[in-house]
Amino acid sequence: MFATEHGTVGMGVCSEVYMPEVCRALALRGAEIIFLPAGIAKPELWETWRTLIWARAIENLAVVVTTQNLFSREELGLAMVATPAAVLLQSVTSGVFYADFDLDEARRLRSEEDSLASKNAAKAGVLTQWQRPELRAKVFPDRS
């Protein structure tokens, strides 16, 4: 975890995307942007990988960014940027990519509670309103 002028960043690694607790712990500690760089390209996993990256963004009301290492020009990787409301960027080619996103939207969703009148593209309040208090201490231990 580290703070930047743009927001608080949390880091996970590769297969930690399959363990939702990793991103949840980062989000509960304040991560607004979560990077999950991956190892080798595995095209057969792209559909599940894409789903998991977006799921981590939705369930943590964070921006989640991933990329895969490419070791030859013949390989195709998967680079993605997902917000709680949408996948903003997805590419299988090598290169440098940019995605504009509004962290204020994720911050607003984190600060609100969900209601029947909600018109949000993602469920507000998932880090607070829908948290199971009996599990919070296990996921987010008191650091005092």
Element (H, E) at 63: strand 63-66
Please report whether residue 142 resides in a domain. no
The sign one gets for the Cα dihedral 130, 133, 135, 141 is positive
Is it the case that residue 143 has pLDDT exceeding 60? no
Please report whether residue 18 resides in a domain. yes
Q: Within 13 Å, how many C-alpha atoms sit on residue 19's CB side?
A: 10
pTM of the model: 0.82
Each residue's pLDDT tens digit, 16-27: 888 898 999 899
Question: What residues make up the domain containing 31?
Answer: 2-93+102-137
Please report whether residue 27 resides in a domain. yes
**Structure confidence at residue 51 as a pLDDT band (50, 70, 90):** very high
Please report whether residue 81 resides in a domain. yes
Please report whether residue 143 resides in a domain. no
Number of structural domains (the chain) is 1
Each residue's pLDDT tens digit, 63-115: 999 988 777 777 777 889 999 999 998 888 777 888 888 888 888 888 878 87
Helices and strands, counts by H and E, the chain: 4, 8
Q: What is the CATH number of the domain that holds 9?
A: 3.60.110.10
Listed in sequence order, the residues at least 6 apart from 21 whose beta carbon sits closer than 8 Å to its beta carbon are: 139
Please report whether residue 127 resides in a domain. yes
